[in-house]
Amino acid sequence: MSIQTIATRPFSDQRPGTSGLRKKVAVFMQPYYLDNFVQALLDVLNASGGPDVPRESGGSGGSGGEARALAGQTLILGGDGRFFNRPAIQTILKLAAANGLTRVVMGCGGILSTPAASAVIRRRQAFGGILLSASHNPGGADGDFGIKYNMSNGGPATETLTEAIYARTQVLNTLYCSDAQDVCIDKIGRLQVEHMQIEVIDPVGDYAAVMRSLFDFDLLSGLFASGFLVRVDAMNAVGGPYAKQILEGEIGAPLDSVVNFAPLEDFGGHHPDPNPANVDDLIYRMSSKGMGAPKLGAALDGDADRNLVMGRNFLVTPSDSLALLTQYARLIPAYQGGLAGVARSMPTSTAVDRVAKALGIPCYETPTGWKFFGNLLDAGLVTLCGEESYGTGSSHLREKDGLWAILFWLSVIAVTGQSMESLVRDHWKTYGRSYYSRHDYLDVPVEYVDTLMKDLHAKLPALAGQTFGRRTILVADDFAYTDPVDGSTSSHQGVRLVFDDASRLIFRVSGTSTEEATLRLYMERFEPDPACHCEPVALAVAELSALAEHISKVRVYTRRAGPTIAT
């Protein structure tokens, strides 16, 4: 075994997006593509000048550079098990060993769900973690792969850090890599590459311990003992082993409660995105009647941080889910002392704002992406947070957490004895209903979307104050955010139109797509009158949808007759 010094050349396209660097598998499989990104990350972590100052690596005789911030440190490593996960793990181990890292703790088989990785980083006080996942993006040889770095708080790297990594990729010319043989990652135990120790752990253990510390498992066991049925679709992704062990193994849910539980490299050909458009089978099962019909249905995404939850024949929007979890948080042991505050991403509906107001706690509005919640959680300003994209989480970790949301809902149902539908309808009666819909235009040529957004920006100053039918625009802006904790700013986070009846239209370009550009149009209509809470969502937002088209001409710019997916 020895450390090799290898000459490389920068790849121009290694800027991380909303959640890490995501590309087609074929892109990641180019020689040195993954290696370069990981070396850039390790260089930044090793840089003596702090993460903002990329350091020129001198080819110092194969020592892997001079500054040694990683010496003595532990990194966590794991991924969602998709195609290329296993070879990527081997490459990263060799790079990490050559760059002076002392210890790696990794999930057996290279597996760690995103929330589990966050749990392991926090519980073991690691320096950080490398997570291999493209989350909800399709997998397999023709699908997507992704990598991201999480910091010692267990949360995604801040923008400052991801920009430093990107800057480093642009000047990188040297890789340090061990020429050791591949190691066996499928047995719990200890290994070594160069001087680096590797501990292979059960991927579920740490995470399960965190769940036990938050929820009353006896209460949940009682719920299942009374005949309650749940159906969780793990979508052949990484959440399966977690859901199976915790729900069926520890809490006593019936044995077939978790379906599609075996993680597959291509997710069985399915799209591991728990969006109603991708969970036909679950929706069908949840419409069945009779004794064997589940009362709570749920689905997880590729890396198990997202959740879709539904009652019998009743879909719950993620925005409503966040509002209800906030409303009922005191029923959960971990939150019985109350919440410090809540946070939601800007496009997420304002349902949670109304609950926060009633509770007398602050509600923060952040840009899209979990990394923006980290500082608020670390500073103790918020306890719960969520996004409209089927993500909810809390201060227990620094990632969103799909199974946590399912356990939370089960607990609320167990304590209140109410169905999901009646809980949500009661909520609407008290707080009003935010009808909510998102239209995604996928794989649109980048230049079409750029022109659309540029022209929309140009219209903004004139839009404020204009009246369209019965609605007047109060705010027309390009959302910018100043982090209340560290004062860092993020601009161009989506065009936002807020109307005088509290309706909102938001236009945003996705930061996770790997093919061309994805445009997202988010629509929210607030309806306080309980007599009007039973409309089909598409109908309820039809007028807003027409207005969005009138103002933005999305269909004209994208040359599409309509959205690819309407959620």
Tell me which of ligand VG1, Co ion, none is bound by residue 368, counting a contact when its beta carbon lies within the kind-specific cut-off of 5 to 8 angstroms.
Answer: ligand VG1
Say if CB 234 and CB 402 are below 8 A apart: no
Q: What is the CA radius of gyration of the chain?
A: 23
Per partner kind, with CB cut-offs from 5 to 8 A, the member of Co ion, ligand VG1, none near residue 558 is none
Written as six digits, the tokens of 96 are 């990490």
Question: What is the separation of C-alpha 291 from the centre of its chain, rounded to a whole number of angstroms?
Answer: 35
SS3 205: helix
d(CA 17, CA 213): 33
**Least distance between ligand VG1 and beta carbon 10 (Å):** 24
Q: State the Cα–Cα distance between residues 525 and 147, nearest whole angstrom.
A: 36
- Alpha carbon 372 to its chain centroid, in Å, reads 12
φ and ψ at residue 240, rounded to 5 degrees: -50, -55
Residues 296 to 335: which contact Co ion by CB under 5 A? 301, 303, 305-306
Identity of the amino acid at 228: F
- Residue 79 binds which entry of ligand VG1, Co ion, none, with Cβ cut-offs from 5 to 8 Å by kind? none
C-beta closer to ligand VG1: residue 513 or 545: 513
CB 135 to ligand VG1: min, Å: 3
CA distance 136 to 440: 14
Q: Which does 139 bind (CB under 5 to 8 A by kind): ligand VG1, Co ion, none?
A: none
With respect to ligand VG1, which residue has the nearer C-beta, 203 or 369? 369
**What's the distance, Cα to Cα, between the start and end of the chain in Å?**
53
Query: Which one of ligand VG1, Co ion, none is in contact with 436 (Cβ closer than 5 to 8 A by kind)?
Result: none
The site partner of 370 among Co ion, ligand VG1, none (C-beta below 5 to 8 Å per kind) is ligand VG1
Which x/- pattern over 63-82 shows residues binding Co ion (rule: CB under 5 A)? --------------------
Q: How many CB atoms lie within 10 A of CB 470?
A: 9
Q: How far is the CB of 510 from ligand VG1 (least distance, A)?
A: 3
State the angle between helix axes of 159-169 and 33-46 in degrees (0 to 180), rounded to the nearest 10.
Answer: 120
20, 131 Cβ separation under 8 angstroms: yes
Closest CB to Co ion among 303 and 440? 303
Which residues have CB under 8 Å from 116's CB, separation 6+? 78, 107, 203, 204, 206, 207, 242, 304
71 three-class SS? coil
Q: CA 185, CA 200: separation in Å to the nearest integer?
A: 7
Write down the least CB distance from residue 567 to ligand VG1, Å: 11
The residue nearest ligand VG1 at its CB is 135
Contact indicator for 106, 78 with CB cutoff of 8 Å? yes
Q: Give whichever of 54 and 374 is closer to ligand VG1, judged by the CB atom.
A: 374
Other CB atoms closer than 10 Å to residue 487's CB: what's the count? 8
By beta-carbon distance, which residue lies closest to Co ion?
A: 135
* Least distance from ligand VG1 to the Cβ atom of residue 33, Å: 20
Cα(259)–Cα(232) distance, rounded to whole angstroms? Answer: 6
Closer CB to ligand VG1, 439 or 520, in the complex: 520
| DSSP, residue by residue, 399-410 | S--HHHHHHHHH
Closer by beta carbon to Co ion, 301 or else 401: 301
Residue 511 touches which member of ligand VG1, Co ion, none, C-beta under 5-8 Å by kind = ligand VG1
* Alpha carbons 363 and 350: distance in angstroms, whole number: 10
- Interface residues with ligand VG1 (CB under 6 A) are 18-19, 135-136, 301, 305-306, 345, 368-370, 387, 389, 391, 510-512, 520
Considering CB distances under 5 to 8 angstroms, the limit depending on partner class, which of ligand VG1, Co ion, none binds residue 389? ligand VG1
| Interface residue with Co ion, options 18, 39, 135, 345 (CB under 5 A) | 135
Backbone φ and ψ for 35, nearest 5 degrees, come out as -55, -45
Q: Is the dihedral of CA 42, 44, 20, 486 positive or negative?
A: positive
Instruction: Quickly tell me which residue has 């079409």 as its tokens.
Output: 448
Compute the least distance from the CB of residue 56 to ligand VG1, in Å.
Answer: 32
Closer to Co ion at the Cβ: 303 or 353? 303
395 binds, among ligand VG1, Co ion, none (CB under 5 to 8 A by kind): none
Q: Least distance to ligand VG1 from the beta carbon of 350, Å?
A: 16
Q: Where are the alpha helices (DSSP H) in 47-113?
A: 85-98
Minimum separation from the CB atom of position 440 to ligand VG1 (A): 9
E strands, 37-141, in order: 74-79, 103-111, 128-132
CB of 520 to Co ion, least distance (A): 16
512 binds, among ligand VG1, Co ion, none (CB under 5 to 8 A by kind): ligand VG1
Complex with ligand VG1: residue 439 or 471, whichever CB lies closer: 439
Catalytic residue positions, numbered: 135
Determine the size of the site formed for Co ion (CB under 5 A): 5
Question: What single letter denotes the amino acid at residue 530?
Answer: P
* Least distance (Å) between residue 19 CB and ligand VG1: 4
Kindly tell me which of 135 and 383 has the beta carbon lying closer to Co ion. Answer: 135
Q: How many CA atoms lie within 13 A of 85 on its CB side?
A: 32
Residue closer to ligand VG1 (CB basis): 101 or 523: 523
Assess contact for 508 and 540: CB atoms under 8 A. Answer: no
Contacts with Co ion, residue ranges (CB under 5 A): 135, 301, 303, 305-306
